[in-house]
Amino acid sequence: MTAHATRTPVLRAEGVTVRIGGRVLLDAVDLDVHAGEVLALVGPNGAGKSTLLGVVAGDTAPDSGRTLLDGTDLRRWRLGDLARRRALLTQANSVAFPFSVREVVVMGRAPWTGLPEGDDDELIIDESLAATDTTHLHLRTFPTLSGGEKARVSLSRALAQRTGILLLDEPTAAVDLRHQEIVLGLARSVADAGGAVVVVLHDLALAAAWSDRMVMIAGGRVRAEGAPAEVLTAELVEEVYQQRVLIHRHPVTGDLLVTPDRRGLRRPAVCSQSTHPGACEVHEQFTAAEVRALRDEYPGVTVLAHPECPPEVVAEADFAGSTAQMSDFVASRRASMVALVTECSMSANLAGAHPEVEFIGMCRLCPHMQRITLKGIRTALETGRHEISVDPAIADRARLAVERMLAV
């Protein structure tokens, strides 16, 4: 905790419970947020992190419990006063109309309209754009931006509110390495200036590097709270994430690192029958950078790739093989979380065969497979239409592949 942190919380959740459709998203959660600190909320997908952030922001009403802001129940705060006290960055980063980047950031100044603080609007807007490295984008329309650019512009809008409390929901999810450091450096600066920051992060190493305090949530409950080194123990991380991990310090910086324990895992394990010189316009769209980004966002994920993906993608995967071979791999390894680097229909079939596994979407839709129908196949067979002549040597090899597939 920094020197600015105080013992009296500026934001407090007391016994907060949220239910949706009979499902408990938060179960009697308590949370204190202090001025002068960066508090990281971590935990697996569906743990309740974003729901808790919505509750303390005042956007989600709890079924029981309450949230206090500066000692006053959030339900008693007027919306304008609340907007001048806390700023919220959600995961959505969406704008309904084609506003320019600058116009989006201007929206952050709306709570100050008509007040003396509004006299500095233009300066604050310029500073907010510069802080997130988006000044050069100011004339672009928001919908034309990349996911990472949208995230940074949305953060600029939140910064432009100039509030004492900043609530950030996965601000680095779509952001490259350099801008991840910029974004979390801004969070650190807000806290060092006496503000309070709550940030939801999936990357445990990033959370450890930039937070003063960490709260780990699983199943809608707080499992641990404290300094990053106190929360990020191998025993707790493995229990909560269902993934073996290694917790260690960087030899140069001393930063706390959390990495999946892949010892004994063959990478990549490629089925010899599948290493053919084939090609596919869908599989060729995948990149190794996408796989690495996926591993960062979902620690412990098992990546299965089709062998027609580029060699560098196959090299990043834990296994490469046909759909049937992927299914066998999942069944034999009992993986709890899997990403399929292949066509979406194939992904859906594999997910249907293993409902107990969490499948992370990373597929591409094949425009040609969607045109294949049983009616069309029958018509082609009955009429002899669409006949294609193939060199016999190629046809024999292709027939073997089809026969292997039908034999599964």
Residue 16's contacts (CB-CB under 8 Å, 6 or more residues apart) are 26, 28, 29, 30, 31, 52, 55, 62, 64, 65, 66, 67
Same domain, 189 and 272: no
Do 214 and 140 sit in the same domain of this protein? Answer: yes
pLDDT in tens, the chain (408 residues): 444 444 789 999 999 999 998 889 999 999 999 999 999 999 998 999 999 999 999 999 999 999 999 999 999 999 999 999 999 999 887 887 899 999 999 999 999 999 998 889 999 999 999 999 999 999 999 999 998 999 999 999 999 999 999 999 999 988 999 999 999 999 999 999 999 999 999 999 999 999 999 999 999 999 999 999 999 999 999 999 999 899 999 888 899 999 888 776 545 544 444 444 556 777 778 888 888 888 888 888 888 888 888 888 888 888 888 777 777 777 776 677 888 888 777 667 777 777 778 888 777 777 666 677 788 888 888 887 777 787 887 777 777 766 765 654
In angstroms, the CA 98 to CA 310 distance is: 36
Q: Are residues 59 and 80 in the same domain?
A: yes
Looking at the structure, do residues 178 and 322 belong to the same domain, yes or no? no
Quick one: 310 and 242 in the same domain?
no
Count of beta carbons in the 10 Å neighbourhood of residue 115: 10
Instruction: Select from 51, 68, 69 the least CA-distant residue to 60.
Output: 51
> Is residue 5 assigned to a domain?
no
Q: Of the residues 230, 258, 286, which one is the last residue of a structural domain? A: 258
Domain CATH number, residue 379: 3.40.50.10800
Whether residue 3 lies inside any domain: the answer is no
246 plus 138 within the same structural domain: yes
Question: Does residue 284 lie in a domain region?
Answer: yes
Q: Cβ(318)–Cβ(264) under 8 Å?
A: no
| Residue-level pLDDT at 129 | 97
Based on the fold, state whether residues 236 and 311 are members of the same structural domain.
no
Predicted confidence (pLDDT) per residue in 284-335, tens digit: 788 888 888 888 888 888 888 888 888 888 888 888 887 777 777 777 766 7
Q: Return the pLDDT at 265.
A: 59
In a domain? residue 241: yes
Within a domain: residue 4? no
- Residue 6 domain flag: no
One domain for residues 185 and 316: no
- Residue 37 half-sphere exposure toward CB, CA atoms < 13 A: 25
User: Which residues, in sequence order, are bridge partners of residue 38?
Assistant: 197
Return the closest-CA partner of residue 276 out of 326, 320, 219.
320
Same domain, 207 and 348: no
Contact between 145 and 153 (Cβ < 8 Å): yes
Among 258, 293, 320, the domain-final residue is 258
Domain check: are 386 and 250 in the same one? no
Instruction: State pTM to two decimals.
Output: 0.66
Q: What is the residue range of 100's domain?
A: 11-258
Is 2 part of a structural domain of the chain?
no
pLDDT tens-digit map of 330-380: 777 667 788 888 877 766 777 777 777 888 877 777 766 667 778 888 888
> How many domains is the chain partitioned into structurally?
2
CATH of the domain at 109: 3.40.50.300
288 shares a domain with 326: yes
227 and 268 housed in the same domain: no
- Of 118, 157, 153, 158, nearest to 138 by C-alpha is 153
Between CA 408 and CA 399 the distance in angstroms is 15
Residue finishing a domain among 219, 238, 258: 258
pLDDT at 3: 45
Decide if 349 is inside a domain: yes
Contacts of 148 (CB under 8 A, 6+ apart): 174, 175, 176, 179
